[in-house]
Amino acid sequence: MSRSLLGLPLAGLLAFSLVACESKDTPPTPAPEKVDEAKAKAPEPKPEAKAEAKPEEAPKPEAEAKAVAPKDEEPKEADTKAKTEPKGETKPAADVAAKTSVPSAPHGILPKGAADKLVKAGGRPVVRLLAAGGEPRSAASYALVKGTSKPLRMGMDLEMSMSAPGMNMPPMKMPRMIMTFDFSAGDKKGSDWPIEGTLKDVGVESLAPGQAKITEALKPQLAPLKGLGMRYFVDEKGRVHDVTMSIPSAVPQAAQQMMTGMTQSIESMTAPLPDEAVGNGAKWEVIGRLSANGADLLQVSTFTLKERKGDVLTLDVAVKQLAANDKVSPPGMPPGTTARLVAFESKGSGTSVLDTKDVAPTGGSMSVKSAMTLEVQLSAGGKTEKQKTSVDTTVTVSYSRK
């Protein structure tokens, strides 16, 4: 998992599931994907939690952020000696950076141009070491082995609720989506490996009797996705770039929209690593840009190295997403309709176990809670109407090797 902890966020790990769940009875909404962690950042002089206050209908995530942030606050003394300490001595986790570099975002929406100062849309993620960790320390890099790896099995559960004037949809759990991927790494060229992936199988499972009807409706929409191919490059530090897809001709337009989010979810599974030497307890921040159902998002992932055994790293991951701006264009929006974000909040956490010789993680899981409020404006017959819609989602992703 990486930028979204598979990130999923895990976003990322994660936008395509929301599109999949948008049935004919559910108006399209942009999926918040892949979240940062309030834990990993020290508080700003001006409390950030307050600046990102969620609307009245979803105060819980904000309250949790206030309660948790001080708990994991790191010491503020920057340890500039991390790289020069004599080897063999046991040192506590070194604090390299006192806090995250992400500015405050009122209601979860960044000021104009703030996201571009951190990372440009379409640019490679930026990795920043926050704490070097305890000794012994050494650099961590990928050394992928050429060939096909074991299939990756990914399961995704979604719970969603929505409210709008005259409508209040209680929390609804969607059927579980299950996907199986094959990945292979090619010969290394320079500092990059070419990676090819194929969606070998996709299915839907009912978790409750009431889901049977939705399950049957989703199956024909998902079936054409089988055989979908993707190609991308990943460097020694896990930075993914130049992602392309080959979509079967039989895939309907609605299903193609799902592929954008799924591509980002797959891309997010490779955790970017810092250039510096790290030990147990090390923390680093990864800042990236992604598009989720018409919304431009800034995603901040904070990784904590819990354990390192040879080539295998066990990571705790926390993710947070902020809207780069208030513009949003959900797929399938009727002509004459525009939408903008009024408030946005998306946070999650999970774990990931990765082998630096393998293209995909060994296993892991991620849970992401998101809440947004949209103002939708509809113009028809010379009249214009505005309506606010709030959507809350909880996405849980798990994955393993078959």
Q: Is the model more confident about 264 or about 393?
A: 393
User: Is 336 part of a structural domain of the chain?
Assistant: yes
pLDDT at residue number 257: 61
Residues 229 and 195: their CA atoms lie apart, in Å, by 11
Residues 278 and 95: their CA atoms lie apart, in Å, by 11
User: Is 39 part of a structural domain of the chain?
Assistant: yes
pLDDT at residue number 381: 79
Instruction: Calculate mean pLDDT across residues 309-326.
Output: 96
Mean pLDDT of the chain: 77
The residue written with tokens 């780069």 in the block is 324
Predicted confidence (pLDDT) per residue in 109-151, tens digit = 999 999 999 999 888 889 999 999 999 999 999 999 999 889 9
Lowest mean per-residue pLDDT among 55-69, 167-181, 270-284? 55-69
Residue 363: what residue type?
G
Please check whether residue 314 is in contact with residue 342, taking contact to mean a CB–CB distance below 8 angstroms.
Answer: no
User: Is 1 part of a structural domain of the chain?
Assistant: no
Q: Is the model more confident about 251 or about 157?
A: 157
pTM, two decimals, is 0.74
The radius of gyration of the chain from alpha carbons, rounded to an integer in Å, stands at 21
Domain holding 109, by residue range, is 6-401
pLDDT over threshold 80, residue 91 = no
User: Is 46 part of a structural domain of the chain?
Assistant: yes
pLDDT at residue number 232: 92
User: Is 205 part of a structural domain of the chain?
Assistant: yes
The percent helix, strand, coil of the chain (3-state, each to 5) is: 15, 45, 40
User: Is 362 part of a structural domain of the chain?
Assistant: yes
User: Is 276 part of a structural domain of the chain?
Assistant: yes
pLDDT at residue number 204: 93
Report percent pLDDT > 70 for the chain: 71
Residues 314 and 307: their CA atoms lie apart, in Å, by 5
Please provide the DSSP assignment of 265-296 as one string: HHHTTS----SS-B-TT-EEEEEEEEEETTEE
pLDDT over threshold 90, residue 241 = no
Residue 158 tokens read as 């979604």
User: Is 190 part of a structural domain of the chain?
Assistant: yes
Domain count, the chain: 1
Residues 367 and 247: their CA atoms lie apart, in Å, by 28
Please check whether residue 227 is in contact with residue 197, taking contact to mean a CB–CB distance below 8 angstroms.
Answer: no
186 CA to centre of own chain? 26
Work out the angle between the directed axes of helices 212-222 and 253-267 (0-180°, nearest 10). 90
pLDDT at residue number 269: 76
